[in-house]
Amino acid sequence: MRLEQAIVYVLATSGRGMTTIDIARVINEDMLYLRNDGKPVSDKQVYAIVRRNENVFAREGGLVYLIM
């Protein structure tokens, strides 16, 4: 699974907006995405993906939402 897919999965299953910190935590806890270097996914990585995919994700009030 790619990181973008993991973010979509987390938001879709939560049914609510989440902070990038919470999204990264869930991805790491559930091992939805594993980095090549073995380090955990950071909230900054999640934020970068969200910014690059504004047609998929919305940001409001510090929370990230899935656009569907």
Please spell the DSSP secondary structure of 47-65, one letter per residue.
HHHHHHTTTTEEEETTEEE
The confidence score (pLDDT) of residue 60 equals 97
Is residue 68 predicted with pLDDT exceeding 80?
Answer: no
The total number of residues shown for the chain amounts to 68
Count other C-beta atoms under 10 Å from residue 48's C-beta.
13
Per-residue model confidence as pLDDT tens digits over 10-53: 999 999 999 999 999 999 999 999 999 999 999 999 999 999 99
The CATH number of the domain holding residue 20 is 1.10.10
- Domain count across the chain: 1
**What is the rounded distance in angstroms from the CA atom of residue 24 to the CA atom of residue 59?**
15
